[in-house]
A = this chain, B = another copy of it.
Amino acid sequence: MLSELRSGKITIEEAEQRIRLLAIREMEIACLDLSREARKGVPEIVLAEGKDDASLKKIVEAFLGESGRVIITRISEERLEALRSGLKGNFEVKYSTVGRVAIIRDRGDAYPERRGAVSLITAGTTDLRVAEEARFVLEEMGCTTHSYYDVGIAGLHRVFPAVKDSLSKDVDVIIVFAGMEGALASVISSLVPVPVIGVPTSSGYGFGGRGEGALTAMLQSCSPGLVVVNIDNGVGAAVVAALISRMRWKSKD
């Protein structure tokens, strides 16, 4: 290119432009490799809500082709049934009515080896829909999950059995789902020697009731040991929990 430039075949502007494009091309390839590496073990997750049937099917097929499994969130049972009947191949489907979340996986694929444990503690029954999404992601990433429901600080006595059982099962992380009593995460974090991830849920009421109240309470916590994800983001919490859990199986020094 430089010789073309010198010989006047291309202008300086054109040369600059070509260099610029070359640089980007290189970044593209490097970055692609890197991202692929970073996501190793994280299953593909598709949000069904807001996608029409044709698009959804196309995306699901693409992911199944690539990795043999896909998690679909916010999907009704009817829609899932319609989707599945249109897929070619031998797939296994798992669905949660409460969480409106599904996993489709190639029957031939080996199940992920269980190698870590995470507790899911919800403050109220309406928080279940978010916890179910987290449970599906965690299990696909090889974690054993332990679930405790209706554990609000307004009934502090229900908090203790959940904490006790989690500790006796030597969990690596605890995820707390709460819409009103965001402080549940804070209370639990003060009692355990493992990281706690708070998931505020949009199940409060009145002022601050769409989850902002719980979010703020979790952010304000004095309890070191607590981190937070966005409102209703059970999926995000689950991925981080699995990443942390994975630590224990990495080689030391």
Q: Which A residues are within 8 Å of any B CB, using their own CB? A: 16-17, 19-35, 37-40, 42, 45, 50-51, 55, 124-126, 152-157, 160-161, 163-164, 167-168, 170, 172, 180-184, 186-187, 189-195, 197, 200, 202-209, 211-217, 219-233, 235-240, 243-245, 247-250, 252-253
Contacts and interface: CB of A to CB of B under 8 A. Distances in A.
Given A156-B31, A216-B212, A51 B172 contact: no
A193 B23 contact: no
A40 B27 CA distance: 20
Contact of A231 (B23, B170, B205, B224): B205
Contact of A192 (B38, B163, B200): B38
Contacts of A207: 200, 211-212, 215-216, 219-220, 230-231
Contact of A156 (B21, B190, B212): B190
Nearest to A187: B153
Contact of A227 (B42, B163, B229): B229
A229 to B, nearest CB: 6
A222 B159 CA distance: 14
Contact of A213 (B153, B194, B205, B217): B217
Nearest to A23: B30
A27 B20 contact: no
Given A27-B31, A195-B243, A247-B244, A125 B51 contact: yes
The list of the 8 closest CB pairs from A to B, nearest first, reads: A183-B183, A206-B231, A224-B239, A23-B30, A31-B157, A28-B160, A247-B247, A24-B164
